[in-house]
Each structure stands twice: as C-alpha cells, then as structure tokens.
C-alpha cells in the first residue's frame, strides 16, 4: 500500500492530545461525545475521568480506548483537562440545522454510496436478459459482466476455490440474512449491529417495521449492505447470482444507519469486534460522517469542528491498526466524487450531520477521507464494463491500491448500451426495501403488490421456488466488495487453520501483498488524459492518470483477479 501520511498523523495526534474543545452550541440538555483516551486506559480510569468532567459513559471500547459519553455542554474542555483523555468532541456536527428538515425522514444518496443516479434506459431490445445458463451456473450469472471481468466464473476461480473457511465482515447498513441468495452463507451467530437508529436521519422509531430503534443483526432497511454482501459471497445455489467467493461466510458488522450515515463509534466497535472474532476481511463502502474530508487544523473550521475531525482520524486509525494486528484486512471504496484525492481542493458537503449544516471550505492534501485514507486500508477504484475508469470514481496514485468492476451507466455513449441497466452491477436486493420504498436510493416503491418489479433496475428470479430480487446499481461501493471477495479467496488459498476462532487466518500484510500481486496491471489511457464523450458530463470530469502500467492513479496495481488468487492454492 502506498502511503505518505506519517507527518499528517503525527500532527493530528499531537493536536488531539492538546485540544481544549468547546462543546457544540446547541439547545440545553445532554448530547453524545466521542472521547479518545490514552492507549491502555482501563475502563475504571476512563469512567472516573468522564464522571469528573460531568459526563456519563455510554460505551467504552477498551481495546482502542475510545468511548461514547453522554454529557451537557461544556463537557469537552473539562474532559481533556483530565490525565487519561486526549480528545473529546460532540458527535453532532458543528453547525445549524433547519429544524423542519431535521425532523423529516432523511433519505439521501451520499456520494460514496451513489448507485442509481439517473433513470435507466427504457426496457427494450437493447437490454440484456437472463438466458439459460450452463449446468451448475446460477440463472442470473450471464448478466454478471463484473464476475467475468475478474475471472470469478464457473470456468474460472469457482472451479478451483470458492473461499470456504473464510469470514468476511460487511461493515455497512446491515445485511438481509433472510434473502435466499445470502442466507446459506450468513453467519447469524457472529453477526452484530453496532448502531442505534437516529430519528434525525433514520425517522421516528415508531415508524420502524418493529416500532423500535434497535434493529436485529439480520436486517437491512437500506439495501446497500445486502448488495455488497451478495457480490462478495452469494452461493452457487441454483438461483439468482453468484459471488466472488461463494462459500465464504458473511458476517454482518452493521456500522451504518438505515439512512446511510456512518459514525465513528460504531465503525471503531465493528473493526475491533472483527479483530477479536476471527474475521479475515472487512468491506467498508462508506466514509465516516459527518466529514467527507477530515482536516486537523483547517482555518475555515471552528476549534470544535477541528477537534471532531482529529478525533475521527485518531479513533479510526487505532481501530484499523488493532484489526490488522489480529489478521483482518480492511478494504474500502475510493469514493465517488470524481476527484484526485491526492490533491483535493474543496469540500462543500461537510458536515453532513445534522442535515443542512454543510458549508464550503478550501482543503488540501493534509485532509483525509476516513477510512479510505486511513493507514492500512486497501483503497479500491472503479471501472465500467468497457474497462475505462468509471466517470464518478475517485483516483489517486497513493491511495488506489487496486481497481475492480463498479459499473458505469455512462459507458458506451452513442450506442444502445448507454445508460442500460446492465452496465451497472447486479446483486441481491431485500424484498422488504423494494416493497416499501424505504431506501436512500430513490424512495420509490420498486416492487408492486403483485411482486413484480416496477423498474428495469430491479430483477426478479423465481428459480428458488419463491421470488428473490436483485438490483442494478453502480459505485466504488460496488467495486470494493469485488476486491474483498478476491482477498477472501487469497486467505482460502494461503491461510492456515485459526486455532482460536476456527476457519482460516492469514496476516493482513500478506493478504494485501497477494491481492496486489495477483491483480492484472492496467495501463493509463493513451496520453494519460481521460475525457468522457457524454455531453451531460462537463469538462471538470476530465481526469489525468499518472504512474506506470505496474501502478497508476486510475487502477492502482491493476484489476483484482479471482482466478489468479484461486491459483495460489495450486502452486
């Protein structure tokens, strides 16, 4: 992994240790704070420090010394004045929120999770349709151009290795453990939900299906996490689609809200849980809210906002370090802002919580997207079916470690394939989300009362005796799980028996090296500059690729390859 962040992290750690942070100036009453203590701080010492500062410990993750605290305003400066505490910041973004907007149920498509931006072409002769597959191939497999692109097919990696004995953690909006193309590989016993629904963005608790803000660990009321899980490990079971590693175990490590927000404490808790329970790979198709870019000392930000960003950087870095030491390889989406993240210049989307709190600010390369730019995380860029960098995908010479299929609806401009559903990625879709429209993708009901899709972006399959549903979406969120699935195949091929947790294990550094080594190098486009012919895309979408064929800013070390990974076990 190519990183040059030591100086930035040293500055952040020093600033966090020295920060005296005022609490958010909001209405009187308690609020939640993220508190980072010195490494090794015992729970009792943490509790004493919090109480002395006037707070109450809600949760404390002693493995990385990061906790959530409930306290009134003025807590943060008192907390950091105590010996054990390095930094404290309110979870709520620093900024004003429109009360009416905050009260409404917020369903928005975050840039990192974009999938269905733009209506698909009408269903017609140009759209690919399922055709009778070969024996032993799932019925929708012929629509999975993405699996063919990385050799994850019945004639490729699936005949050599399917990832049995490997556990993949899905850090996302949840996983529908009842979906017929997820259930066979879903590990219900290990799955956990580290979140509690937040009415500000997830809607009133009484409007939830179970009339509760505490969701079980086999539910996905968004659809994003189920799609990711399906891409990684849908089984070859005679229905729907097949995943990259169709015999790997799926572990739901829910760290995202129903609405698609991801906050620091659930992310930290999910990563440390993965390290303690024999998870081999985690997929992270998100950024940690409320900041797209976390800056240690941006003069545009208030002291409280700076402290909040420093806290996120330090807390997630600790959690990633802990997980890697325990054999977990974290894999993350590079992002969908069509930006060279080695040279960002502005961020007008942060803070995104509470809604309507964002403001424009100038940034530079000292600002980090977390977890993508967290040290030790594999960054994945996206390409479409033609192989070109997807129009939305970020790029980076330092942060793009590998690339993978993520879909590109703007591929093949000027042909019948332009904007066709099948230029995206097809994977499992929770029926409950499709029937209720309870999703951050578009809020529209995708499955009618008779069980029929109302959009060509949803596919119904009846092969299993009852309907199962799949959706076409795109994004680096869809590219990352392809890389996570290949990483699972590497652990299956090279791993040793995990005597403590069962299954297999492999040091994260070795899994990462082999993921890059088995990737197929992809050169920069001729001349280094990529322009998109689609007139809807302005000149700002022109992107410049730097580096060599062996490693460049568009494709990293190349496209992940499941067949090459599976062959490792045949050496």
As a whole number of angstroms, the distance between CA 174 and CA 184 comes to 16
Whether 172 is a known active-site residue: answer yes
Which of 255, 266, 252 is closest to 218 using CA atoms? 252
Residue with tokens 């394939």: 417
Which candidate in 138, 172, 187, 289 is catalytic?
Answer: 172
Residue 554 makes CB contacts below 8 A (sequence gap 6+) with 381, 389, 395, 400, 403, 522, 524, 525, 530, 543, 545
Which of 173, 177, 201 is closest to 187 using CA atoms? 177
Residues 430/436, Cβ–Cβ less than 8 Å: no
Which candidate in 138, 161, 218, 224 is catalytic?
Answer: 224
For residue 36, say if its preceding peptide bond is cis, omega within 30 degrees of 0. no
Whether 249 is a known active-site residue: answer no
Using left for φ > 0, alpha for ψ between -120 and 50, and beta otherwise, residue 437 falls in left
As a whole number of angstroms, the distance between CA 244 and CA 68 comes to 36
As a whole number of angstroms, the distance between CA 447 and CA 489 comes to 34
HSE-CB for 16 with a 13 A CA cutoff: 29
Whether 551 is a known active-site residue: answer no
Q: Is the dihedral of CA 67, 72, 77, 78 positive or negative?
A: negative
> Which two structure tokens, joined as six digits, stand for 109?
């498509």
User: 3-state secondary structure string, 185-242?
Assistant: HECCCCCEECCCCCHHHHCCHHHCCCCCCCCCCCCECCCHHHHHHHHHHCCCCCCCCC
Q: How far is CA 287 from CA 283, 369, 407, in A?
A: 12, 7, 20
Which of 357, 438, 441, 435 is closest to 105 using CA atoms? 438
362 phi, psi to nearest 5 deg: -85, 140
How many other CB atoms sit within 10 Å of the CB of residue 439? 29
Which candidate in 381, 477, 553, 559 is catalytic?
Answer: 477
Q: How far is CA 127 from CA 13, 415, 416, 505, in A?
A: 52, 12, 8, 42
Residues 146/156, Cβ–Cβ less than 8 Å: no
How does 411-429 read in b/e, with b if 16+ C-beta sit within 10 Å? bbeeeebbbbbbbbbbbbb
Query: CA angle 161-470-274, nearest 5°?
Result: 55
How does 207-228 read in b/e, with b if 16+ C-beta sit within 10 Å? ebeeeebebebbbbbbbbbbbb
- Which active-site residues does the annotation give? 172, 224, 477
């Amino acid at each position: 992994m190519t990183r040059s962040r030591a100086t930035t992290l040293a500055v952040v750690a020093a600033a966090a240790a020295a920060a005296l942070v005022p609490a958010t100036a909001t209405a009187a009453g308690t609020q939640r704070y993220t508190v980072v203590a010195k490494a090794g701080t015992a729970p009792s010492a943490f509790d004493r420090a919090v109480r002395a500062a006037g707070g109450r410990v809600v949760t404390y993750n002693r493995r990385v010394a990061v906790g959530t605290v409930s306290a009134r305003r003025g807590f943060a400066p008192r907390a950091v004045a105590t010996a054990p505490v390095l930094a404290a910041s309110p979870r709520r973004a620093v900024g004003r929120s429109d009360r009416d907007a905050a009260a409404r149920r917020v369903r928005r498509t975050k840039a990192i999770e974009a999938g269905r931006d733009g209506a698909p072409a009408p269903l017609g002769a140009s759209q690919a349709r399922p055709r009778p597959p070969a024996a032993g191939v799932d019925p929708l497999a012929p629509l999975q151009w993405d699996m063919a692109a990385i050799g994850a097919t019945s004639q490729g990696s699936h005949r050599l290795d399917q990832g049995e004995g490997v556990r993949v953690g899905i850090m996302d909006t949840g996983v529908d453990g009842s979906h017929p193309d997820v259930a066979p590989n879903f590990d219900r016993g290990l799955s956990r939900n580290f979140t509690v629904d937040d009415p500000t963005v997830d809607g009133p608790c009484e409007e939830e299906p179970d009339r509760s803000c505490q969701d079980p660990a086999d539910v996905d009321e968004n659809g994003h996490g189920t799609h990711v899980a399906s891409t990684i490990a849908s089984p070859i079971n005679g229905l729907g689609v097949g995943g990259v590693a169709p015999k790997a175990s799926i572990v739901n490590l829910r760290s995202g809200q129903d609405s698609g927000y991801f906050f620091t404490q659930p992310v930290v808790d999910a990563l440390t849980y993965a390290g303690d329970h024999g998870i081999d790979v985690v997929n992270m198709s998100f950024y940690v809210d409320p900041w797209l870019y976390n800056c240690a000392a941006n003069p545009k930000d208030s002291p409280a906002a700076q402290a909040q960003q420093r806290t996120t950087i330090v807390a997630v870095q600790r959690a990633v370090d802990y997980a890697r030491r325990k054999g977990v390889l974290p894999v993350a989406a590079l992002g969908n802002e069509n930006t060279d993240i080695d040279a960002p210049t502005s961020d007008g989307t942060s803070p995104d919580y509470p809604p309507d709190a964002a403001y424009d600010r100038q940034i530079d390369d000292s600002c980090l997207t977390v977890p993508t730019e967290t040290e030790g995380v594999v960054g994945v860029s996206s390409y479409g079916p033609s192989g070109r960098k997807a129009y939305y995908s970020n790029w980076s010479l330092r942060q793009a470690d590998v690339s993978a299929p993520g879909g590109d609806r703007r591929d093949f401009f000027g042909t019948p394939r332009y904007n066709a559903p099948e230029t995206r990625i097809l994977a499992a879709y929770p029926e409950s989300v499709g029937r209720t429209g309870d999703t951050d993708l578009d809020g529209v009901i995708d499955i009618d009362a008779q069980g029929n899709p109302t959009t060509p972006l949803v596919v119904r399959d009846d092969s299993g005796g009852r309907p199962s549903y799949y959706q076409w979406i795109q994004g680096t969120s869809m590219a990352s799980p392809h890389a996570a699935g290949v990483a699972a195949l590497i652990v299956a091929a090279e791993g040793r028996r995990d005597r403590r947790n069962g299954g297999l294990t492999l040091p994260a550094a070795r899994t990462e090296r082999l993921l890059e080594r088995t990737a197929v190098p992809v050169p920069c486009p001729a001349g280094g500059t990529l322009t998109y012919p689609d007139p809807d895309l302005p000149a700002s979408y022109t992107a410049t690729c730097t580096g060599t064929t062996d490693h460049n800013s568009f494709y990293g070390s190349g496209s992940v390859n499941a067949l090459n990974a599976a062959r490792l076990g045949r050496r």
